[in-house]
Structure 1
Amino acid sequence: MAKLMAAPLSALVDEPVHIQVTGLAPFQVVCLQASLKDEKENMFVSKAYYKASETGQVDLERDPSLGGDYMGVHPMGLFWSLKPEKLLSRLAKKDVNIPYQVHIELSEPHFPIKGIVVSPPMDSLTLERWYVAPGVTRIPVKEGRLRGALFLPPGEGPFPGIIDLFGSTGGLIEFRASLLASHGFAALALAYWGYDDLPSYLDKVDLEYFEEGAEFLLRHPKVLGPGVGVVSVCRGAEIGLSMAINLKQIKATVLINGPNFVTSDPHVYHGQVNHPVPCNIEYVITNAFGFAEFYRAYEETADKDSKYCFPIEKAQGHFLFVVGEDDKNLNSKVHAHQATAQLIRSGKKNWTLLSYPGAGHLIEPPYAPLCSASRIPYVIPSIYWGGEAVQHAAAQEHSWKEIQKFLREHLLPDVSSQL
């Protein structure tokens, strides 16, 4: 009798799962299908076809998928190839204290044709995919102007502190901060618009607000000083770079597909104003799917001596640039090369660049499915983020390890003793 197995059955979402099948006929072809529902009841589904060995076994760590949503040997392909049944849905966890339930089915190969009755699955199981490790604590933050959620690892600490920033979707996004806490960081998911009593839209970026966030972290008895790190993406990375230049508390900054200039709303710090770059709206592309590609909208910044670029050489901390070379929202490869060139010209060696061919804009923790297009507030039409599924998945897996390594290296006093 065919038996579907997976280990571990319950794990963090960034941990791999080993999936195997036994009890098949020699060289039998089977279909493996994964499905989950998000908190909005949107269904995400993937499938792949495998041929059993001569002993009737399938092992996803060894055997290639013959077809379906991916081909080749990809042990976690069923997870990162999940696709929404409702177009433009992005899999983004809201309540990190509740795991995703991923249902895996083993069945005979079939093609969905109306009126054809499909035989029931040969076997199935359900996996729990968590965003918080056991013992991680979530503390709502509503102190002064600050709004967010602080995630603390189990134990007394002190732990390296991180401010986690997302971009133009607004609100409070916690899934990356909760995972960072699960790996030993005190992580503050910091909202800055579109949440609670914060502004419903941005008309300026007040860097003093983010400085308050850094000071809040450093006051906490479980946070290790003397500085903190920033993990940021897109518009958040624009702010993260500005923070690194202006705030002495920032010692290590991860910039995922961000610009090296102000895009739309002025940055203000103690009366100093950094104005946005002109946006060349005529260069915005509407692609064959009807989605907007913004990556050419700031071509005035492409000159290496552009007056619009942040003075990154003034920053005292270290930088990790994470670039998806197929980013269709920002020309992040050009922006990162501009920024590192400025550092080189200033004799600085305080940076690392990770550049991934085929990766899109939304580089997230490992095994998250590629979101190539979605809606964001106030933007019509929907935005095309880019990315090819296999390359994007590889970029997520590699960069997540490098991000944690970078943060430990620059926020822990003796990283060798922590490894």
Structure 2
Amino acid sequence: MDFPRCHRRLITMVQLMVTPEISLADSPVWIRAVGLTPSQPVTLHSSLIDEKNVKFEARAFYWANEAGEIDVKKASAVGGDYTGVCPMGLFWSLKPEKMFHRLIKRDVIGSPFHVQINLFGSFVMMPSEKDTPLATCTIERWFVTPGVEQIKIKDGQVRGSLFMPPGPGPFPGVIDMFGGGGGLIKFRASLLASKGFAVLALAYMAYEDLPQTLAEVNLEYFEEAAKLLLKHPKVRGPGLGVIGVSKGSEIALAMASFLVQIVAAVCINGTTTVNDAPLRFRDIYIPGVCYYPEKFLINSMGALDGHEIIGDPRDEAHQASVIPLEKAHGSVLFVVGEDDRGFNSKLFAELAIARAKKYGKNNCTLLSYPKAGHLIEPPCSPLCTCSWIPGYMKPTQWGGEMEPHAQAQEHSWKEIQKFLELHLGPAGSSNV
């Protein structure tokens, strides 16, 4: 893959340096400015335009030091979208011009996000055409490293995309799933493949010829996907990992509990009972817990807060729908945001771990993050507090506070990779 070079425009002797200019989207960059007047007020401003032509922006205000320099690794932002020393704040604080819009990279192979960083010589809240930057640089944030192959999967019932690292392998195999909005989301799978995992981004509804709505979770579909991944000559067996968020987390936990192929499951902000659509696996049937739509709250922005809509998981109504984690053949890592407004994810995880211990199992780990929301994604991803879900009449609230959520993403991403390698063996490596 040929990377185009960064375009930089310099005015006077001021220099803006962003290193590296080409990087993976989950990797840090180093932003510095030199040639400023000592104690000069400046604004660092970041922006990108996503694949739906929606602009995202962030800004932070700084004072240059006595040498006329700013180093975001050391300098403290005094205002803007964040304050304090936040080296990647210009990325995780990006906000959309269009309300309730979530930043999702869909073409993970063909193009990066181009992020423009501008340096202004004063405090500029909303840059306009009359505001001329002292310096500017455009950098590339890729979601895949060169050499990672994307293979479209349409085999039997299984639909998705397989991301295979370069080299002979074998690589640890992982199935990656997102939530109940359906479709095929690939950015986490492509980033994990860039770390040396063979990752199947798996669709299970609202994609190609799959059902538009999820009337039933039939684990035979997910078993078929697991067997398909294990048959690949570059995938190391005998066990696989699975990672899921929201509805995908619920399914990941069920896969760990019933499928012998799954030896490591990462469950991000999901429930530990079957919800709404029932679960079926051969002669096993688990009914879904009904939603209580009257328990929806509508916040000041008109978004739905669904934290209470499935009731209290300790109630009798939930007991027939509990996923039997004690049957799991491997280990489970729960990743929860304590400000998740989609579910009471921490309570669900705690109850599941207590159930496992009751049956003599100590195969669960809990990572719980105060003030983090529902959509815990790879590092440097902007916090999405509200967005639209297909089929909903109003946007959905996800929760989270910006800086703690960013810290949760950075920490959990490292822990997820450690967990997968611990149980699946070491990953390969591929670097930009």
TM range (shorter): over 0.9
Residue 351 (structure 1) aligns with: 364
The whole-number CA distance in structure 2 between the counterparts of 1:113 and 1:17 is: 24
Q: Deviations over 1:328-357 (max 9, x none)?
A: 011101101111111121121111100000
| Pairs within 5 Å for 1:16-415 | 16-97=28-109, 98-111=111-124, 118-303=130-315, 306-412=319-425
Stretches of structure 2 that go unaligned for 5 or more consecutive residues are 1-12
- Note if contact 1:18-1:75 (Cα within 8 Å) is conserved in structure 2: yes
Q: Distance in 2 between matches of 1:94 and 1:392?
A: 22
Structure 1: which 4+ aligned runs deviate by more than 6 Å?
A: none
Contact 1:110 1:118 in 2 (8 A): no
Matches of 2:342 and 2:88, distance apart in 1: 27
Deviation at 1:22, TM superposition (A): 0.3
Number of the residue aligned with 2:7: none
Whole-angstrom distance in 2 between the partners of 1:206 and 1:112 = 51
Structure number with the bigger relative contact order (C-alpha 8 A, sep ≥ 6) is 2
Does structure 1 conserve the Cα–Cα contact (< 8 Å) formed by 2:59 and 2:125? no
Aligned counterparts of 1:300 and 1:104: Cα–Cα separation in 2: 46
**d(CA) in 1 for partners of 2:133, 2:256:** 53
Q: What per-residue deviation string (whole Å, max 9, x for no partner) do you get for residues 67-115 of structure 1?
A: 000000000000000000000110001100110000000012244689x
* Separation of aligned partners in 2, 1:265 and 1:95: 30
Aligned-pair CA distance for 1:117: 6.6
Determine if contact 2:196/2:427 at 8 Å carries over to the other structure: no
- Inter-partner Cα distance in structure 1 for 2:22 and 2:70: 21
Partner AA of 1:396 in structure 2: Q
Moved more, 285-294 or 48-57: 285-294
**Cα displacement string for residues 354-387 of structure 1 (whole angstroms, at most 9, x for unaligned residues):** 0000000000000000000000011121100000
Deviation at residue 212 of structure 1 after TM alignment: 0.6
- Give the direction of change, closer, same or farther, for the CA distance of 1:90–1:413 in structure 2 (3 Å limit): closer
Return closer, same or farther for 1:40/1:322 CA change in 2, 3 Å cut-off: same
Q: Deviations over 1:120-176 (max 9, x none)?
A: 110000110000011111011111111100001111000000000001121111000
CA contact (8 A) 2:100 2:388 kept: yes
CA contact (8 A) 1:108 1:119 kept: no
**Letter of the 1:155 counterpart:** G
| Count of paired positions | 414
Match of 1:14 among 26, 47, 58: 26
Q: How far did residue 65 of structure 1 move?
A: 0.5
Secondary structure in structure 1 of the residue aligned to 2:416? helix
Displacement of 1:414 in angstroms is 11
**Partner of 1:395: helix, strand, or coil?**
helix
- Cα drift, residue 271 of structure 1: 3.5
**SS in structure 1 of the partner of residue 319 of structure 2:** coil
Show structure 1 runs of 5+ residues with no match.
none
Residue identity in the other structure for 1:403: I
Q: For 1:215, what is the secondary structure of its paired residue?
A: helix
Q: Secondary structure at the match of 1:236?
A: helix
> Identity rate of aligned residues, in percent?
51
Aligned partners of 1:259 and 1:335 also within 8 Å? yes
1:339 and 1:113 map into 2 onto residues whose CA distance is 47
Letter matched to residue 210 of structure 2 = L
User: How big is the alpha-carbon RMSD for the aligned residues of Structure 1 and Structure 2?
Assistant: 1.7
